[in-house]
Structure 1
Amino acid sequence: MNPSARVQSRAIGFLLCVLLGLSGTAKAVDTQNAGDLQLVIVLSRHGVRSPTAKPGSLDVFSSKPWPAWPVPAGYLTPHGKQLMAMMGSWYRAYYANAGLLPLDGCVASPSLYVVADDEERTLESAHGLMDGFDPNCAIEVHPSPKNGPDALFSHDFTHASDADRAEAMAAVLGRIGGDPKRLALANAGLLDQMQTVLLGCQSGTCTPAQTAGKKILLDQDSSIAPAHGDGLLSIKSPLHNASTFAENFFLEYAEGMPMSDVAWGRISSLQLGQLLTLHATYSDIGLRTPIIARSYAGHLATRILATLQQRADVKPTAEAIGSNKAKIVFLVGHDTNIETLAGLLDLHWMLAEQPADPTSTGGALVFELRREKGTDHYNVRAYYVSQSMEQMRESSMLDLKHPPELAPIFIPGCSPATPGYGCPLNRFAGLVKQANQSSAHQ
């Protein structure tokens, strides 16, 4: 059986299981309460991909060659597409149980809108989601261009000024004590662990033969400088390299490679979670710093807000994504899109087995629009959802009794203390507009 047929078969089987067992699992779903659900916007990262570096280019850092992948660099794997289909099936069951969607059958096109960045891994991830969400239905995936007003996921800094780049550089330096070397010094313990994994020898005990011809993490330059062309900053640091290596170990694990191939058999799943702190820390500095987050995600935030307002007003809006009749909108992009949008709005979450604010493959930042019963007042609720590392590795079937990990998000400056943290739509609009004010000149 080919991969697409397997995905379709699993998706159909999953929906049958839900049909038979839905009544006994309704209490496990938190979407039942806190108002009449009107719209869901899912900002998802693509699924498991191969490393983006050219094969063999990272071998200079390690004692052994990095493992081979079944697809070209940066492409979605068949396993990654299968996992996206499982997430699609879960979204369908979850929101059918919430009363937003029918449990089966094709969702009419005005109610469903799907857009993805126009790269292979994002487009194929969107198709994978729809394999699970709407099996046997022809769902159009709209590619988002790299430039222009419909470029939801790309970042054009060609018009950024020297002053913009200088301010971004100052903002980052101001977070790290003015010295780029502190990025590595503050994370020396984890960098030492990473070095041990890369070379297979303890720090200080490696022989000259083990290090001959190899690049050593802490020997790499540390600098922060304005970027040229399509970028704001160029950050060089041992932390940057280690972040890439930790992410690649995660991809090997999530892909289901034998543990002997995951970091060459030198780490456990627990140690992997610890090393991912290197990736989270670098992303926090390089993407969540407010001025950088605004520059990257300001346009996307404005489009998401317009989509929420369009649904509440029940009339078309030029900046909205999809129809004013849409009930669920899928936006399939990259971890940078989630990181920077979260940085713009100061959103944070935590899952059980990773550092704070993970942006796992297939994971998503989700916004729900709800109308308070008996009123014309609307609230926005946010959560982050992702399959666990083990669910990804084992291709564990998702259902309402065995869901992915889900973390409700408190929206600072807006959410109340009540469960669900519903933020009034008008106040959410104010937050987005205020956060974007400083980037209006870029």
Structure 2
Amino acid sequence: MALFSGDRHMRLRMRTWFRKGRVCLLALFGLCGMAHASDTQNPGDLRLVVVLSRHGVRSPTTAPESLDAFSSKPWPTWPVPPGYLTPHGKQLMSLMGHWYRAYYARAGLLSDHGCLTSSVYVVADDEERTLESAHGLMDGFDPGCAVDVHPSAKQGSDALFSHAASGASDDDRAEAVAAVLGRVGGDPARLALAHAGLLKQMQAILLDCAPHTCGDAQAAGKKILLDQPASITATHGDGLVSIKSPLHNASTFAENFFLEYVQGMPMSDVAWGRISPIQLGQLLTLHTSFSDIELHTPIIARAYAGQLATRILATLQQATDSHALPNAIGAAQSKMVFLVGHDTNIETLAGLLNLHWMLPEQPADPAFTGGALVFELRSTGVPARYIVNAYYASQSMEQMRNSTALDMAHPPQIAPIFIPGCSSAGPRYDCRLDRLAKLIAQASGSRSVH
């Protein structure tokens, strides 16, 4: 004891070792991402949490018989129609809802028991998989309580999740095409060339043959993935750009393999037994890479997510003085706002604000089923200064496949997010609300299309 009490240098070293050991334990239990909410000095009072969630596990949106042209064997049968939430997917959403309740009760924002109908507001896109996902979330978040799920219209000022680009001019569409072409060196074929190795793996899985050795499959009328045409052109309606590429097709197939895996299908049915979980994680790069080109390109992200970002900002601002604002979502007294939409909503909002994240053993910027972008609003100091922190949360593929119960010792995977142009250095990447407002106004721009 005399040695430690008399040696200030040694005491400092011991404190450093303890702090490092504590960080290592957090990493060991997967809690590093959540340490920012409770383990820093004076993090401020938590006022509001906005959760932008993707729906849960669904069946493929394309009917299996339409996909069979690319595969040597039929695609597996699902228990629900194309694009519908599965019962397993709803259960997983309930597990996420339970975790949100437990975590934010521990953080002091919510009570850990009783109904929260006056403190939570839920909006979902008006499709079956999103509405049912929202109900699943609430089954876990506020069980046995009558929480309303508000459907969002497809059109108009209340539309949150639709890609309302129908008012885009020909010049807007031409500029969007140029922006995408500019990311691929002006040649749509380069999308496939840049991912040639993974595309060859995908081809082998689909037809059980190597490239240039699939003659029998081709003679049987099967489509060769690498032979599909490539083009980037303007589209109409609610879209801006149509991208055709082997990468586009492979992105869909990789997503479908992912859905088979997290649905809990036998491994003999996941990509016809021709893939391992590690290979699946690698092939998902095909999906995230295509989404990055299609949805993160700034002009497209601005057209698709500008209104959503503005509404989320108004919701955060409303919570600063509890007075209703016209564009805000939910009541002024809400403590948590859940927005249940699609991966495209998360992807385009991330593209708009240049947000990026990584989860262990997965490709960059995944937008998994049930995963969410989360924005926390805190106040600190007198007079109050408002801070926003962002993170991405998702169950791991194994947690989804196995319906793993989530708690503080077994949380979902978490990635704190640095908001470029707003966040400061530090473990929570604090972003001042007033700076975020300027960033969103600039990113959305007067030319955003609605």
Q: TM-score range by the shorter chain?
A: over 0.9
Output the CA distance in 2 between the equivalents of 1:30 and 1:49.
Answer: 32
Aligned counterparts of 2:184 and 2:69: Cα–Cα separation in 1? 29
Superposed CA RMSD in Å reads: 1.5
Deviation at 1:54, TM superposition (A): 1.8
Contact 1:310-1:320 within 8 A present in 2 as well: yes
SS at match of 2:275: coil
- Native 8 Å contact 2:117 2:146 kept in 1: no
Match of 2:322 among 314, 321, 331: 314
Query: Counterpart in 2 of 1:279?
Result: 287
- Which residues of structure 2 form unaligned runs of 5+? 1-29
1:267 match: secondary structure:
coil
1:28-79 Cα distance to aligned partner (Å, 9 max, x none): 7542251110000000000000000023110000000000000000000000
Decide which of 27, 37, 41 is 1:31's aligned counterpart.
37
CA distance in 2 between counterparts of 1:138 and 1:209 reads 54
Q: State the match for 2:234 in structure 1.
A: 226
Q: Distance in 1 between matches of 2:231 and 2:184?
A: 12
2: distance between equivalents of 1:168 and 1:431? 21
2:251 to 243, 248, 272: 243
Question: What corresponds to 1:14 in structure 2?
Answer: none
* Residues 321-400 of structure 1: pairs in structure 2 closer than 5 A: 321-400=329-408
Q: State the 1:108 CA deviation.
A: 3.5
Contact 1:291 1:439 in 2 (8 A): no
Residue in structure 2 matching 1:125, options 112, 128, 133? 133
Say if 2:356 and 2:364, in contact at 8 Å, map to a contact too: yes
For the 8 Å contact 2:191–2:247, the answer to whether it is kept is yes
Q: Distance in 1 between matches of 2:270 and 2:37?
A: 37
- The partner residue of 1:189 within 197, 211, 221 is 197
Instruction: Name 1:9's counterpart in structure 2.
Output: none
SS in 2 for 1:76: coil
Distance 1:375 1:294 in 2: 34
Q: 1:29, 1:400 within 8 Å by CA — same for their partners in 2?
A: no
Matches of 2:391 and 2:111, distance apart in 1: 22
The CA distance in 2 between the partners of 1:137 and 1:126, in whole Å, is: 14
- Aligned counterparts of 1:196 and 1:42: Cα–Cα separation in 2: 39
Aligned residue among 42, 46, 50 for 2:51: 42
8 Å contact from structure 2 (residues 303, 448) kept in 1: no
Q: Which moved more, 1:371-380 or 1:295-304?
A: 371-380
Which stretch of the first structure deviates more once superposed, 153-162 or 163-172?
153-162
Q: Who is 2:76 aligned against?
A: 67
The corresponding residue for 1:401 is 409
CA deviation digits over 1:118-169, x for unaligned, max 9?
Answer: 0000000000000000111111000001001110001222211000000000
8 Å CA contact 1:199–1:211 kept in 2: the answer is no
Residue 148, structure 1, aligned to residue 162, structure 2:
no
Q: Give the AA of the match of 1:95.
A: Y
Give the alignment partner of residue 145 of structure 2, picking from 137, 144, 153: 137
CA distance in 1, matches of 2:387, 2:215: 61
* Alignment partners' CA distance in 1, 2:86 and 2:217: 36
Could you tell me how far apart the structure 2 residues matched to 1:434 and 1:75 are? 37
Amino acid at match of 1:116: A
Uncovered stretches (5+) of structure 1, i.e. residues with no partner: 1-24
SS state at 1:174 partner: helix
C-alpha distance in structure 2 between counterparts of 1:333 and 1:104, whole Å: 27
Q: Specify whether residues 137 and 159 from structure 1 end up closer, same or farther in structure 2 by C-alpha distance, changes over 3 A only.
A: same
CA distance in 2, matches of 1:26, 1:266: 34
| 3-state DSSP of counterpart to 2:159 | coil
Counterpart Cα distance in 1 of 2:410 and 2:55: 22
Contact 1:384 1:407 in 2 (8 A): yes
**SS at 1:56 equivalent:** helix
**Change in CA separation of 1:314 and 1:258 when aligned onto 2, cut-off 3 Å:** same
Q: 1:209 to 1:417 in 2, by over 3 A?
A: closer
Letter in 2 for 1:69: W
Identity across aligned pairs (percent)?
71
TM norm structure 1: 0.92
The change in CA–CA distance for 1:210 and 1:177 in structure 2 (over 3 A counts) is: closer
